[in-house]
Amino acid sequence: MRYLELYGLFFVQRLKVFLEYRLSFLIGASSTFFMQAGGLFAIWAVMRVTPNLLGWSFDQVLLLYGMVALARSFELMFANNLWVVGQHYIRSGDFDRFLVRPINPLFHLIADRFNHDGIGNFLIGLVVVIRSSLSLNIDWNLEKVLCMVLAALGGGLVFIALNLITCVSAFWIVDSAPVTLAVHEWHEFAKYPLSMYSSQIKTALTFVVPYGLVSYYPALFVLGRDSSFLAFASPFMGMGLMLIGYALWNVGLRRYGSTGS
């Protein structure tokens, strides 16, 4: 409860920044819509050439896209600072302030910045999922709704955990963004059905960089194609990866030696 209260205080301070620089806030929020529009256009272009992608229609692929956008929105909103821990904090020595305050340094790093771009991502993902489900005439029931909610929340945890696992490299190489980006970009594969990839890539997207658990397997369940437990696996995989990431974070934290300046 203490950390929830603290996060609320951090969020209020961040909100004051948004209100002070309204134009910057609006530009940042609207840029997300343009970026997502580009992604949606890419899918439209692919499906225009190949209307049936190994048994997947345009609306079904849109469902995958929307689910990925929903999951990623939580990472953008709540853990975007993991991208810049080396670049903005370790390199400058500003990371030291996280170590002299009576709260968990990782929590402080995450709470230090709420990224409003994630709100746009969430809204777009929600609209795309609703639009595609209406076009597909999905017969929603409690199990399918639960599957979608868990896929979004658990998927967000997977995104955050993978970013945490990769960002700890900053304690050794300072700028961890390229390492994080190399893993993060695998989520682009999850915007299309995994059945179109080789068995090795499908396995990697299921168990190694499990972005497939965010969209493909839940979508199969919602569409009535498969009832595999993998449709509900993203929260458990996310929690497991978070434990690994936190253990690596603590190793890196012991390695940290400030800038010496």
% of the chain at pLDDT higher than 70: 93
Question: Total domain count for the chain?
Answer: 1
Domain presence at residue 118: yes
Residue 148 lies in a domain: yes
- In this structure, are residues 235 and 151 in contact, taking their beta carbons and an 8 Å threshold? no
Phi, psi torsion values for 156, nearest 5 degrees? -60, -40
pLDDT of residue 51: 83
Does residue 205 belong to any structural domain of this protein?
yes
The two tokens of residue 155 are: 């998927």
Q: Is residue 224 part of a domain?
A: yes
pLDDT at res. 20: 67
In a domain? residue 261: no
Domain enclosing residue 165, as ranges: 2-255
Span 116-144, pLDDT tens digits: 888 888 999 999 999 999 999 999 999 99
Q: What pLDDT is recorded for position 32? A: 74
Residue 22's pLDDT band, with cuts at 50, 70 and 90, is low
The pLDDT assigned to 229 comes to: 92
- Let me know if residue 260 belongs to a domain: no
For 158-184, letters b (16+ CB in 10 Å) and e give bbbbbbbbbbbbbbeeeebbebbeeeb
CA atoms within 13 A on the CB side of 23: 0
Tell me the per-residue pLDDT of 186-240, one tens digit each, with 9 for 90 and over.
999 999 999 999 999 999 999 999 999 999 999 999 999 887 899 999 999 999 9
